Structure 1
Amino acid sequence: MYTEKVRVSENVVEQTLHAASRLGFYLIQEACEEFLMENTNLKNCLKMLERAYKFSLSKLTEKSLEIAAKYFKVISKRSRFKELPVEQMISLLQRDDLNVDSELDVFKRFIQWLEHRKAERLQHAADIMATIRLPLLSPSAIVDSVESISYLMDIPECQTLVKEALHYHCIPSRQTVLQSSRTVPRNQLVSDLMVVLGGAPRYKCDSVNDDVIAYNLATNSWKSVATLPEPRHHHASVIFGGFLYIAGGERYNNSMAPLNTVFRFDPRSGAWLKVASMKHNRQSFNLAVLNNMMYAVGKYSVFCGRLDAVESLSSVECYNPISNSWHEVAHLSTPKRCVAVSTLNGRIYAVGGSGNKMISSRVESYNPFEDKWEIKQPISTPRFFAHLVSISGSLLLVGGATVSQDGTITCMDSIERYTPSSDCWTVISHMRTPRAEFGCTSVGSKIYVAGGYNWDTMERLRSVECFDFDSHIWTEMKEALPVELTGLSLACIKTFNGGGY
């Protein structure tokens, strides 16, 4: 039985690791790894990385790479950087937290490393070049700084990577379906941001909101992060390929002319791109994404207040970002507006809504391969202006309003859960504040609702509330919306610069 303590020091740590590895003394290996991690810093991180690979020390590998990535601008100028083996070079350059000012800097450091031992390293050029996020470079930088290196272009795999990067910029609308690990910015400030887009103000004489405001869950504060290309309310928005799409709605507060325009917001740069307009002007409808396509479901084309619409349609159209065009698909079974829409298990679900002066309890499921809608189990109470959210293999129907037999409009406070396997709806909770015409989004297992209109109290709302699906508990956020808004949309975008556009 061994009772002596093992003393670890810089002078003997490698010998100790070697012996512990051969003899299977794993506790000693762990002690040595902890010692090395405690002594890993900017000065020796590349040396520690070499040791970590030599003795297969995963924790030390991560610690060394983390420091090297954070101080990449410093360590990439050292002579030891040029001696990094291929495997270690790939592990470093593929990290999301590589701290660089530009992806062009990463490429230049790669070229310096490659040319240090060009003859033996050229065979690995494509593997390492695949870790560099060339699509994030401008087309001119790709042509002038990358494509101009002839010995790289002699390698077919490197040619393919350059073509991929150039094609990414050729037709901007296609970027939505060309997203990959090489199109994600490197940044240490990646976070999910809840944003409010547009909305109608309290008074018709006031301007429709064109602000994009973000809620910081850490500081409980609102911040303006962008401006809509056009002000709008009762529009639709959806996340598609990491981009935020916003479509349709009404531009003015006292008009009856819904829009058909569609814009795409890039969270990486804060830039808007106008894409193809919908075939139909739409308001109080919803968007859904399925199989790299975006669907616009439900509409009414002339708005005459909350209760009336001159025309509700069953029209459904589909947007293809490859061709940047819309085309009609199978219609809903009946004309609808204010319908709740979401996707689950390869299907689009449309729930409730209103049309032809009737509130619907109908649930329909769209099969994109057969291009047809199938009737499912209806909800217990007809409702419109609700939201449908997909969470943990189920659909949750949140909020909205209904009309009683005497014609009174009341808000629905129940949350109904739909389970596809049993085709069954179950009430699982009730809202703190019933509302319709509100914004709704999910972040992980939490659902957020903001603004809207409470028919029970006849008031416009500013409050923002959160439903935790795991605990079934509602909480009210500390800071309400800056202004009362109805017909707003809520979305969760991933930001790469702290949201400071």
Structure 2
Amino acid sequence: MRNIIGEEHRKVNLQAIRQLWEERVGCDVELEAEGRIFHAHRVILSAGSDYFRAMFSSGMKETHQTSVSLLLMGAPELEALLHCCYSGDLFLDWGCIFELTSTALQFQFQPALSLCLNYLEQQMDVHSCLDIAAFAEAYMLSDLLETAEDFVLMHFQEVMATPKFLELPAEKLVDLLRRDGLCVPSELAAFRAVVAWIEADPAQRLSQAQEVMTGVRFPLMTFREFREVRAVNLQMECSGDDDVYLYRTALREFGFGDSSPVVQHRIRYPRDVLVVVGGDQLNPDEGQRLPSKQLWFANSLRSGTGLVKDMEWRILGEMPEQARFRHGISILDRKLYVAGGCYYYSKADTMKSVYRYDPLTNSWERLSDMQEHRSNFTMVVRGDSLYAIGGDRDISTNLDSVEKYSVETDTWSFTHSLDQPLSGHAAVVWGGEIFISGGFNLKYQCLVSTFLYHPEQGTTYLADMAHDRAQHCMESLAKRFYVAGGVCNLREFYTDQLSCESYDPISDTWTAFTPLPLCHVGAASAVLEGKLYVLGGYSQEDYSEARLVHRYDPGTQRWENMGKMAGPVTDIRACLLHLPAHLRRSDGQKGL
């Protein structure tokens, strides 16, 4: 209660100070910029700007002046920054963001600068990222530069289609192409980017072809891909340009003419890693299924020859107590929560225990048990609480109950029940609301329903999916929910569901997107670097394991094969977790 009262008191004080400023009560200095006069309080300016604090407190001549002329500041920027000092708000858009950021940096308005930098990071897209990178480099904003360049590397194929890409200096383009973290479907995309860049100004850029082509890793191309390289080269020869020799030389020198036996893959290390928790797998030697206590993580993403992708898997550790599958996991305050699930396959093997993993200390903590035994359920984070929704009590009974976990009190309490028992469903939190799709009903029939669940008010039904499904994946990405995998009731018996669809929560409509190339029932999913990952699972047709990882890119609307998983693949759960550097550097925990 004391914190709430303190926050409210600060808001009241700030409003009073702003009112005094607007009414010019107590203003003791005039600031002039571009012929406009602004009234202010020295103490407020000093609190919001290191520049003005030094001006008014260091004995400079302005210390005692009642009017100060600011020759290097524009009037619109001064007005916006003063408004920020008195209100804590800053109205930002792309028309003013760079001017405001440079002014806040120059005159050391730290609160305003933080708001500007946050805006640039959060609103960054394929059309603005190159401008942001150039701006950050010019003003030596190292953190922003790193973020912007990493964004360019992540979304390179989309960025190369923008007009700004064609304006890049040769040295910057080479720098980007030489980065291991460059994300391209294959090396042919990098080559096409170079060709587009050269053809934007061939008179000037053909002479730079040899240098720029050094960034393309031609040995990673297949012979089929290299036919396109040869075709482009022949086209350039037919153009009759005197400089084409240099272009052809670049292809020969840095392409298949390279005698080096070692071909460097592109290896990307995401800031957050994909972590796979628990699950089970078939032991082919013993002919039985083995539940797992293991946590695996994808330390790096690798691009090889052609479209070949792979993920470097490492073991993070093991869960305490028993192995578990069909469990629930969530991330809250950068800590992993694991709850419920099954430890084996009989009716009494459902669990209600809960643990929390802290990657900073690499340690586990036992928390209070859930009220119900649950498996095949969802657990999500809403606000500062966890919600365990539905699930199976045992192998033949599913639940309509929902429990809320309070981190502060370490207690579980029941909230409003679902309209009907539900298991094998999927859920996401968007805009502070919980959205649930599909699942099994009381008779274990697959559902098409989508609804919004509110802990106090219950269920509000939304537009149905086009296809019924259960034991599927649903993730929130770019203001849409993407649904993939699972089983359906297409025939008398359960059948693999390959169709995929996405939901727009604004218009309450579903739209089909590219079907999965292979079945993924009981798979895990996560969104990493703006792409949807579907990991593992099995086929309902013959119960064979689906060991592959598939990645969907909303930009290209295609699924990519990202290689095989190393650990358990069935009834697993996945999340993103930020791991300390020493856990990622450890060579002793490498997987297969």
TM-score (norm 1): 0.60
Deviation digits for residues 168-224 of structure 1 (CA, Å, limit 9, x no counterpart): xxxxxxxxxxxxxxxxxxxxx982111111111225745311111111234531111
State whether structure 2 residue 307 is matched by structure 1 residue 215: no
* Equivalent pair of 1:198/1:208 in contact (CA under 8 Å): yes
1:321: how far off? Answer: 0.6
Q: Find the counterpart in structure 2 of residue 367 from structure 1.
A: 454
* Alignment CA distance shift 1:326-1:63 (3 Å): closer
Q: Which structure features the higher share of strand residues?
A: 1
Q: Find the counterpart in structure 2 of residue 450 from structure 1.
A: 535
Q: Find the counterpart in structure 2 of residue 439 from structure 1.
A: 524
* Equivalent pair of 1:200/1:253 in contact (CA under 8 Å): no
1:253: how far off? Answer: 4.4
* Equivalent pair of 1:192/1:495 in contact (CA under 8 Å): yes
State whether structure 2 residue 283 is matched by structure 1 residue 196: no
Secondary structure, in 3 states, of the residue corresponding to 2:280? coil
* Equivalent pair of 2:270/2:300 in contact (CA under 8 Å): no
1:413: how far off? Answer: 1.2
* Alignment CA distance shift 1:265-1:436 (3 Å): same
State whether structure 2 residue 503 is matched by structure 1 residue 422: no
* Alignment CA distance shift 1:316-1:54 (3 Å): closer
* Cα distance between partner residues in 1 of 2:143 and 2:343: 50
1:277: how far off? Answer: 1.2
Q: Find the counterpart in structure 2 of residue 345 from structure 1.
A: 431
* Equivalent pair of 1:190/1:496 in contact (CA under 8 Å): no
Secondary structure, in 3 states, of the residue corresponding to 1:396? strand
Amino acid at match of 1:495: L
* Equivalent pair of 1:276/1:326 in contact (CA under 8 Å): yes
* Equivalent pair of 2:282/2:290 in contact (CA under 8 Å): no
Q: Find the counterpart in structure 1 of residue 442 from structure 2.
A: 356
* Cα distance between partner residues in 1 of 2:383 and 2:544: 40
* Cα distance between partner residues in 2 of 1:394 and 1:248: 29
2:556 equivalent among 448, 457, 471: 471
Instruction: Give me the CA root mean square deviation.
Output: 3.1
State whether structure 2 residue 489 is matched by structure 1 residue 397: no
* Cα distance between partner residues in 2 of 1:257 and 1:58: 56
Secondary structure, in 3 states, of the residue corresponding to 1:191? coil
Amino acid at match of 2:358: D
* Cα distance between partner residues in 2 of 1:367 and 1:211: 34
1:86-485 to structure 2, matched below 5 A, reads 191-202=271-282, 205-219=288-302, 220-229=311-320, 230-254=322-346, 256-303=348-395, 309=396, 311-357=397-443, 358-368=445-455, 370-404=456-490, 406-478=491-563, 480-483=564-567, 485=569
1:385: how far off? Answer: 0.2
* Cα distance between partner residues in 1 of 2:492 and 2:138: 69
1:469: how far off? Answer: 2.1
* Cα distance between partner residues in 1 of 2:422 and 2:542: 26
Higher relative contact order (CA 8 A, sep 6+): 1
Alignment coverage as a number of residue pairs = 325
1:488: how far off? Answer: 0.7
* Equivalent pair of 2:471/2:521 in contact (CA under 8 Å): yes
* Equivalent pair of 2:296/2:567 in contact (CA under 8 Å): no
* Cα distance between partner residues in 2 of 1:484 and 1:460: 10
* Alignment CA distance shift 1:457-1:371 (3 Å): same
Q: Find the counterpart in structure 2 of residue 129 from structure 1.
A: none
* Equivalent pair of 1:236/1:249 in contact (CA under 8 Å): yes
Secondary structure, in 3 states, of the residue corresponding to 1:313? coil
* Cα distance between partner residues in 1 of 2:383 and 2:314: 33
* Cα distance between partner residues in 2 of 1:363 and 1:421: 14
* Equivalent pair of 1:263/1:275 in contact (CA under 8 Å): yes
* Alignment CA distance shift 1:55-1:477 (3 Å): closer
1:499: how far off? Answer: 3.1
* Cα distance between partner residues in 1 of 2:143 and 2:431: 38
* Equivalent pair of 1:190/1:497 in contact (CA under 8 Å): no
* Cα distance between partner residues in 1 of 2:342 and 2:403: 19
* Cα distance between partner residues in 2 of 1:55 and 1:418: 44
* Alignment CA distance shift 1:450-1:389 (3 Å): same
* Alignment CA distance shift 1:59-1:331 (3 Å): same
Amino acid at match of 1:200: D
Q: Find the counterpart in structure 2 of residue 163 from structure 1.
A: none
* Alignment CA distance shift 1:282-1:61 (3 Å): same
Secondary structure, in 3 states, of the residue corresponding to 2:275? strand
Amino acid at match of 2:406: N
1:273: how far off? Answer: 1.4
Q: Which structure features the higher share of helix residues?
A: 2
Unmatched 5+ residue regions in structure 1?
1-21, 25-51, 67-188, 304-308
* Alignment CA distance shift 1:359-1:191 (3 Å): same
TM-score (norm 2): 0.51
Amino acid at match of 2:432: G
1:452: how far off? Answer: 0.6
* Alignment CA distance shift 1:314-1:218 (3 Å): same
* Alignment CA distance shift 1:55-1:451 (3 Å): closer
Q: Find the counterpart in structure 2 of residue 495 from structure 1.
A: 579
